[in-house]
Amino acid sequence: MNHEEIKAEDNVSTVIQFVLLGFSDLSTLQGFLSGVFSIIYMIILIGNCLIIMITKIDPVLKKPMYFFLANFSFLEICYVTVTVPRILFNIWTQDRHISILACAVQMCFFLMLGTTESFLLAVMSYDRYVAICNPLHYPLVMNPTKCTQLAAVSWLTGIPIQVGQTCQIFSLHFCNSNQINHFFCDIPPILKLGCGDTSVHELSVYVVVMMVAAVPFILVLTSYSRIIVTILRLPTTKGRTKAFSTCSSHLLVVVLFYGSATVTYLRPKSTHSPGTDKLLSLFYTIVTPMFNPMIYSLRNKEVIAALRKMILLK
Protein backbone atom coordinates (compact mmCIF):
# COMPACT_ATOMS: atom_id res chain seq x y z
CA MET A 1 0.00 0.00 0.00
CA ASN A 2 1.32 3.41 -0.95
CA HIS A 3 1.24 6.29 1.49
CA GLU A 4 1.86 9.92 0.80
CA GLU A 5 5.30 10.80 2.15
CA ILE A 6 6.55 14.30 2.78
CA LYS A 7 10.24 15.03 2.71
CA ALA A 8 11.87 18.39 3.30
CA GLU A 9 15.14 20.05 2.60
CA ASP A 10 17.48 21.62 5.13
CA ASN A 11 15.95 22.15 8.59
CA VAL A 12 12.57 23.55 7.63
CA SER A 13 9.62 21.68 9.02
CA THR A 14 7.04 20.99 6.31
CA VAL A 15 5.17 18.21 8.09
CA ILE A 16 1.61 19.16 9.04
CA GLN A 17 0.35 15.62 9.53
CA PHE A 18 1.77 12.15 10.00
CA VAL A 19 0.94 8.78 8.49
CA LEU A 20 0.68 5.91 11.02
CA LEU A 21 1.87 2.94 8.98
CA GLY A 22 0.84 0.50 11.70
CA PHE A 23 0.41 -2.95 10.18
CA SER A 24 -0.09 -1.74 6.60
CA ASP A 25 2.71 -4.05 5.43
CA LEU A 26 0.44 -6.99 6.34
CA SER A 27 -2.10 -6.09 3.66
CA THR A 28 -3.54 -9.60 3.39
CA LEU A 29 -4.15 -9.82 7.15
CA GLN A 30 -6.12 -6.60 7.69
CA GLY A 31 -9.41 -8.43 8.32
CA PHE A 32 -7.74 -10.89 10.70
CA LEU A 33 -5.98 -8.10 12.61
CA SER A 34 -9.24 -6.17 12.87
CA GLY A 35 -10.93 -9.20 14.43
CA VAL A 36 -8.04 -9.90 16.81
CA PHE A 37 -7.78 -6.31 18.07
CA SER A 38 -11.57 -6.04 18.42
CA ILE A 39 -11.72 -9.23 20.51
CA ILE A 40 -8.75 -8.17 22.66
CA TYR A 41 -10.32 -4.76 23.28
CA MET A 42 -13.62 -6.34 24.33
CA ILE A 43 -11.81 -8.78 26.65
CA ILE A 44 -9.95 -5.88 28.30
CA LEU A 45 -13.13 -3.79 28.70
CA ILE A 46 -15.31 -6.64 30.02
CA GLY A 47 -12.63 -8.16 32.27
CA ASN A 48 -11.64 -4.90 33.92
CA CYS A 49 -15.25 -3.68 34.24
CA LEU A 50 -16.10 -6.92 36.05
CA ILE A 51 -13.22 -6.40 38.48
CA ILE A 52 -14.35 -2.82 39.17
CA MET A 53 -17.95 -3.99 39.72
CA ILE A 54 -17.16 -6.79 42.15
CA THR A 55 -14.74 -4.66 44.18
CA LYS A 56 -17.50 -2.07 44.61
CA ILE A 57 -20.35 -4.55 45.27
CA ASP A 58 -18.83 -7.33 47.38
CA PRO A 59 -18.21 -6.34 51.04
CA VAL A 60 -15.47 -8.99 51.34
CA LEU A 61 -13.41 -7.01 48.83
CA LYS A 62 -13.59 -3.73 50.76
CA LYS A 63 -9.86 -3.86 51.42
CA PRO A 64 -6.97 -1.61 50.34
CA MET A 65 -5.65 -4.31 48.01
CA TYR A 66 -8.89 -4.34 46.02
CA PHE A 67 -9.24 -0.55 46.14
CA PHE A 68 -5.94 -0.33 44.27
CA LEU A 69 -6.97 -3.21 41.99
CA ALA A 70 -10.13 -1.29 41.01
CA ASN A 71 -7.98 1.77 40.27
CA PHE A 72 -5.65 -0.41 38.23
CA SER A 73 -8.53 -1.90 36.22
CA PHE A 74 -9.96 1.54 35.43
CA LEU A 75 -6.47 2.65 34.42
CA GLU A 76 -6.11 -0.29 32.04
CA ILE A 77 -9.40 0.61 30.34
CA CYS A 78 -8.18 4.19 29.79
CA TYR A 79 -4.71 2.99 28.77
CA VAL A 80 -5.84 0.72 25.92
CA THR A 81 -8.53 3.17 24.81
CA VAL A 82 -5.76 5.63 23.91
CA THR A 83 -4.33 3.25 21.29
CA VAL A 84 -6.65 0.40 20.25
CA PRO A 85 -9.62 2.40 18.84
CA ARG A 86 -7.17 4.34 16.66
CA ILE A 87 -5.63 1.08 15.42
CA LEU A 88 -9.10 -0.23 14.53
CA PHE A 89 -10.06 3.05 12.83
CA ASN A 90 -6.92 2.91 10.68
CA ILE A 91 -7.61 -0.70 9.68
CA TRP A 92 -11.32 -0.18 8.98
CA THR A 93 -10.97 3.04 6.96
CA GLN A 94 -7.44 2.50 5.61
CA ASP A 95 -6.98 6.22 6.31
CA ARG A 96 -3.79 6.34 8.33
CA HIS A 97 -3.32 10.11 8.45
CA ILE A 98 -3.16 11.80 11.85
CA SER A 99 -2.61 15.49 12.53
CA ILE A 100 0.38 16.63 14.58
CA LEU A 101 -1.97 17.85 17.33
CA ALA A 102 -3.87 14.53 17.49
CA CYS A 103 -0.56 12.67 17.53
CA ALA A 104 0.74 14.85 20.39
CA VAL A 105 -2.48 14.37 22.38
CA GLN A 106 -2.34 10.59 21.92
CA MET A 107 1.31 10.47 23.00
CA CYS A 108 0.68 12.71 26.01
CA PHE A 109 -2.23 10.64 27.33
CA PHE A 110 -0.39 7.39 26.64
CA LEU A 111 2.68 8.59 28.58
CA MET A 112 0.61 10.00 31.46
CA LEU A 113 -1.33 6.77 31.87
CA GLY A 114 1.86 4.72 31.53
CA THR A 115 3.40 6.78 34.34
CA THR A 116 0.28 6.22 36.45
CA GLU A 117 0.59 2.47 35.90
CA SER A 118 4.23 2.54 36.91
CA PHE A 119 3.50 4.36 40.19
CA LEU A 120 0.35 2.35 40.88
CA LEU A 121 2.28 -0.92 40.57
CA ALA A 122 4.77 0.45 43.12
CA VAL A 123 1.93 1.45 45.46
CA MET A 124 0.37 -2.01 45.14
CA SER A 125 3.70 -3.63 46.02
CA TYR A 126 3.96 -1.35 49.08
CA ASP A 127 0.45 -2.44 50.09
CA ARG A 128 1.51 -6.11 49.91
CA TYR A 129 4.71 -5.31 51.82
CA VAL A 130 2.78 -3.76 54.72
CA ALA A 131 0.16 -6.55 54.69
CA ILE A 132 2.75 -9.35 54.87
CA CYS A 133 5.66 -7.79 56.73
CA ASN A 134 3.68 -5.64 59.20
CA PRO A 135 0.24 -7.29 59.40
CA LEU A 136 -0.61 -5.86 62.84
CA HIS A 137 -0.06 -2.30 61.65
CA TYR A 138 -1.72 -2.86 58.26
CA PRO A 139 -5.19 -1.41 59.10
CA LEU A 140 -3.57 1.66 60.64
CA VAL A 141 -0.96 2.27 57.91
CA MET A 142 -3.21 1.53 54.93
CA ASN A 143 -6.26 3.45 56.17
CA PRO A 144 -8.82 4.82 53.63
CA THR A 145 -7.29 8.32 53.67
CA LYS A 146 -3.78 6.99 53.01
CA CYS A 147 -5.05 4.75 50.21
CA THR A 148 -6.84 7.66 48.53
CA GLN A 149 -3.73 9.83 48.81
CA LEU A 150 -1.48 7.15 47.32
CA ALA A 151 -3.91 6.58 44.44
CA ALA A 152 -4.18 10.34 43.80
CA VAL A 153 -0.39 10.72 43.73
CA SER A 154 -0.17 7.84 41.23
CA TRP A 155 -2.76 9.45 38.94
CA LEU A 156 -1.49 13.03 39.14
CA THR A 157 2.31 12.75 39.25
CA GLY A 158 2.71 11.95 35.57
CA ILE A 159 0.63 14.87 34.28
CA PRO A 160 3.19 17.73 34.54
CA ILE A 161 6.12 15.43 33.69
CA GLN A 162 4.61 13.96 30.54
CA VAL A 163 2.95 17.16 29.33
CA GLY A 164 6.42 18.73 29.50
CA GLN A 165 8.05 15.81 27.72
CA THR A 166 5.42 15.78 24.96
CA CYS A 167 5.90 19.52 24.38
CA GLN A 168 9.64 19.00 24.14
CA ILE A 169 9.33 16.11 21.65
CA PHE A 170 6.95 18.07 19.42
CA SER A 171 9.15 21.17 19.53
CA LEU A 172 11.35 19.27 17.07
CA HIS A 173 11.32 20.11 13.37
CA PHE A 174 10.09 17.09 11.39
CA CYS A 175 11.69 17.16 7.98
CA ASN A 176 12.97 13.62 7.40
CA SER A 177 9.60 12.07 6.66
CA ASN A 178 6.00 12.12 7.83
CA GLN A 179 5.65 8.34 8.05
CA ILE A 180 5.54 6.87 11.55
CA ASN A 181 6.43 3.19 11.28
CA HIS A 182 4.37 2.27 14.32
CA PHE A 183 0.73 1.69 15.28
CA PHE A 184 0.50 4.73 17.59
CA CYS A 185 2.39 7.94 18.33
CA ASP A 186 5.21 6.75 20.58
CA ILE A 187 8.49 8.50 21.40
CA PRO A 188 11.06 6.28 19.57
CA PRO A 189 9.44 6.43 16.09
CA ILE A 190 8.67 10.16 16.47
CA LEU A 191 12.30 10.94 17.39
CA LYS A 192 13.43 9.16 14.22
CA LEU A 193 11.58 11.76 12.14
CA GLY A 194 13.28 14.73 13.80
CA CYS A 195 15.76 16.89 11.91
CA GLY A 196 19.34 17.27 13.02
CA ASP A 197 20.73 16.21 16.38
CA THR A 198 18.10 14.77 18.73
CA SER A 199 20.56 13.64 21.42
CA VAL A 200 19.26 16.22 23.93
CA HIS A 201 15.72 14.90 23.45
CA GLU A 202 16.97 11.31 23.84
CA LEU A 203 18.74 12.26 27.05
CA SER A 204 15.55 13.85 28.42
CA VAL A 205 13.66 10.65 27.62
CA TYR A 206 16.23 8.61 29.60
CA VAL A 207 15.98 10.98 32.56
CA VAL A 208 12.17 10.83 32.57
CA VAL A 209 12.18 7.02 32.25
CA MET A 210 14.53 6.78 35.22
CA MET A 211 12.16 8.98 37.24
CA VAL A 212 8.85 7.36 36.30
CA ALA A 213 9.88 3.75 35.66
CA ALA A 214 13.27 2.88 37.15
CA VAL A 215 12.63 4.46 40.57
CA PRO A 216 9.19 2.79 41.03
CA PHE A 217 10.68 -0.50 39.79
CA ILE A 218 13.43 -0.29 42.43
CA LEU A 219 10.74 0.33 45.07
CA VAL A 220 8.87 -2.73 43.80
CA LEU A 221 12.02 -4.87 43.98
CA THR A 222 12.80 -3.58 47.48
CA SER A 223 9.27 -4.38 48.67
CA TYR A 224 9.32 -7.87 47.20
CA SER A 225 12.78 -8.71 48.47
CA ARG A 226 11.52 -8.00 52.00
CA ILE A 227 8.28 -9.85 51.31
CA ILE A 228 10.16 -12.97 50.15
CA VAL A 229 12.40 -12.92 53.25
CA THR A 230 9.30 -12.63 55.47
CA ILE A 231 7.48 -15.43 53.61
CA LEU A 232 10.45 -17.78 53.94
CA ARG A 233 10.40 -17.21 57.71
CA LEU A 234 6.77 -18.30 58.06
CA PRO A 235 6.52 -21.49 60.15
CA THR A 236 4.02 -23.41 58.00
CA THR A 237 4.04 -24.39 54.34
CA LYS A 238 0.39 -23.41 54.08
CA GLY A 239 1.15 -19.90 55.33
CA ARG A 240 4.03 -19.52 52.90
CA THR A 241 1.91 -20.72 49.98
CA LYS A 242 -0.98 -18.37 50.83
CA ALA A 243 1.31 -15.34 51.25
CA PHE A 244 3.22 -16.04 48.05
CA SER A 245 0.07 -16.62 45.96
CA THR A 246 -1.18 -13.18 47.01
CA CYS A 247 1.93 -11.55 45.57
CA SER A 248 2.85 -13.73 42.60
CA SER A 249 0.07 -12.28 40.41
CA HIS A 250 1.24 -8.74 41.00
CA LEU A 251 4.88 -9.71 40.47
CA LEU A 252 4.03 -11.28 37.09
CA VAL A 253 2.29 -8.08 35.94
CA VAL A 254 5.28 -6.02 37.12
CA VAL A 255 7.77 -8.11 35.14
CA LEU A 256 5.67 -7.96 31.94
CA PHE A 257 5.09 -4.20 32.13
CA TYR A 258 8.46 -2.90 33.30
CA GLY A 259 10.47 -5.39 31.23
CA SER A 260 9.01 -4.52 27.82
CA ALA A 261 8.63 -0.77 28.51
CA THR A 262 12.17 -0.34 29.86
CA VAL A 263 13.78 -2.12 26.90
CA THR A 264 11.78 0.08 24.50
CA TYR A 265 12.65 3.46 26.02
CA LEU A 266 16.19 2.92 27.31
CA ARG A 267 17.69 1.61 24.08
CA PRO A 268 19.65 4.15 21.98
CA LYS A 269 17.77 5.48 18.94
CA SER A 270 20.31 3.86 16.59
CA THR A 271 19.39 0.37 17.84
CA HIS A 272 15.65 0.76 17.36
CA SER A 273 14.02 -1.24 14.59
CA PRO A 274 10.33 -0.86 13.64
CA GLY A 275 9.61 -4.59 13.97
CA THR A 276 11.14 -4.90 17.44
CA ASP A 277 9.52 -1.67 18.64
CA LYS A 278 6.08 -2.81 17.50
CA LEU A 279 6.49 -6.22 19.15
CA LEU A 280 7.64 -4.77 22.48
CA SER A 281 4.94 -2.10 22.37
CA LEU A 282 2.27 -4.74 21.82
CA PHE A 283 3.32 -6.31 25.12
CA TYR A 284 2.96 -3.25 27.34
CA THR A 285 0.08 -1.59 25.46
CA ILE A 286 -2.22 -4.51 24.65
CA VAL A 287 -1.03 -7.97 25.75
CA THR A 288 -0.35 -7.11 29.41
CA PRO A 289 -3.68 -5.23 29.88
CA MET A 290 -5.48 -8.21 28.33
CA PHE A 291 -3.92 -10.70 30.75
CA ASN A 292 -4.18 -8.52 33.87
CA PRO A 293 -7.87 -9.32 34.64
CA MET A 294 -7.18 -13.04 34.16
CA ILE A 295 -3.99 -12.93 36.24
CA TYR A 296 -5.67 -11.11 39.12
CA SER A 297 -8.94 -13.06 39.05
CA LEU A 298 -7.88 -16.64 38.26
CA ARG A 299 -5.11 -16.54 40.89
CA ASN A 300 -7.22 -14.91 43.61
CA LYS A 301 -9.75 -17.02 45.52
CA GLU A 302 -11.59 -14.00 46.95
CA VAL A 303 -12.11 -12.52 43.49
CA ILE A 304 -13.32 -15.86 42.10
CA ALA A 305 -15.75 -16.25 45.02
CA ALA A 306 -17.06 -12.70 44.47
CA LEU A 307 -17.56 -13.39 40.76
CA ARG A 308 -19.48 -16.60 41.49
CA LYS A 309 -21.63 -14.79 44.02
CA MET A 310 -22.44 -12.02 41.53
CA ILE A 311 -23.30 -14.53 38.78
CA LEU A 312 -25.53 -16.58 41.08
CA LEU A 313 -27.36 -13.44 42.23
CA LYS A 314 -28.17 -12.69 38.61
pLDDT tens figures, 129-143: 998 888 899 999 999
Mean pLDDT computed over 179-205: 86
The whole-number pLDDT of residue 94 equals 85
Whether 65 has a pLDDT exceeding 70, the answer reads yes
C-alpha–C-alpha distance, residues 110 and 184, integer Å: 9
Average pLDDT, the chain: 83
Range 84-107 burial, b when 16+ CB lie within 10 A, else e: bebbeebbeeeebebebeebbebb
Domain boundaries in the chain?
A: 17-313
Lowest pLDDT segment from 73-82, 97-106, 290-299: 290-299
Whether 279 has a pLDDT exceeding 70, the answer reads yes
The secondary structure element, H or E, covering residue 18 is strand 17-20
| 179 DSSP β-pair partners | 19
- What's the pTM? 0.86
* Domain 17-313, CATH number (from 1.20.1070.10, 1.10.8.60, 1.20.1250.20, 3.40.309.10): 1.20.1070.10
CA proximity to 263, closest of 214, 314, 227, 201: 214
The whole-number pLDDT of residue 11 equals 42
- pLDDT band for 13, please (50, 70, 90 cuts): very low
| 174 DSSP β-pair partners | 194
Whether 299 has a pLDDT exceeding 70, the answer reads no
A 10 A CB-CB count for 302 gives 16
Please answer whether residues 151 and 277 qualify as being in contact, where contact means their C-beta atoms are separated by less than 8 angstroms: no
Whether 98 has a pLDDT exceeding 60, the answer reads yes
φ, ψ for residue 129, nearest 5 deg: -60, -45
Please answer whether residues 2 and 9 qualify as being in contact, where contact means their C-beta atoms are separated by less than 8 angstroms: no
The whole-number pLDDT of residue 173 equals 83
The whole-number pLDDT of residue 67 equals 94
C-alpha–C-alpha distance, residues 12 and 195, integer Å: 9
Percent of the chain with pLDDT over 70: 86
- pLDDT band for 153, please (50, 70, 90 cuts): very high
Question: What is the 8-class DSSP label of residue 179?
Answer: E
C-alpha–C-alpha distance, residues 24 and 128, integer Å: 44
φ, ψ for residue 215, nearest 5 deg: -65, -50
A 10 A CB-CB count for 29 gives 13
The whole-number pLDDT of residue 144 equals 93
- pLDDT band for 246, please (50, 70, 90 cuts): low
- pLDDT band for 4, please (50, 70, 90 cuts): low
Q: C-alpha angle 101/19/11, rounded to 5°? A: 75
